[in-house]
Amino acid sequence: MAEVAWSEDLCVGIQQVDDEHQQLVATLNQLDEAMKSGKGTRVMSEILNQMVQYTQIHFESEEKLMVECDYPKISLHQAQHRQLEGKLIKFQVKFEKSGQRISKDMMVFLTNWLTKHILVDDNAFATFYNEAAVKS
């Protein structure tokens, strides 16, 4: 799995959201690097915990902005967030109980989910948010 390079393409135009996305990408890359270099279970567990916690913080932050601007697709967006949270937590529990290694398939899933979600869903929200701010 190749490292996700942060680029302007991933910017949605809301500074807080972009900063949080950069942190998520950095953590994903840290997890990928730890997996590739065969880091120990303790290190992998710490990075995975960080990923789960920061994802939850980011989703809460993003959803507050959606409420502020009365985003019409908030329910769909929240459902996508809950789905990823569920998968991450399920994987975290499995990892903690069995010490199962983080697989390449899991990294591909996380990378694809995050980049697609930013490029499609978060960009749609950001466009709405920024247009609503202009109208205010």
pTM to 2 decimal places: 0.90
Ordered structural domains, the chain, with CATH: 15-135 (1.20.120.50)
44 backbone φψ class: left, alpha, beta (φ>0; ψ -120 to 50): alpha
Q: pLDDT tens, 28-47? A: 999 888 888 877 677 878 88
Long-range contacts, 88-97 (Cβ 8 Å, 24+): 88/51, 88/52, 88/55, 89/52, 91/48, 92/48, 92/49, 92/52, 95/44, 95/45, 95/48, 96/45
Query: Would you state the pLDDT for residue 95?
Result: 79
Q: pLDDT tens, 85-116? A: 999 988 888 878 876 667 777 888 899 999 99
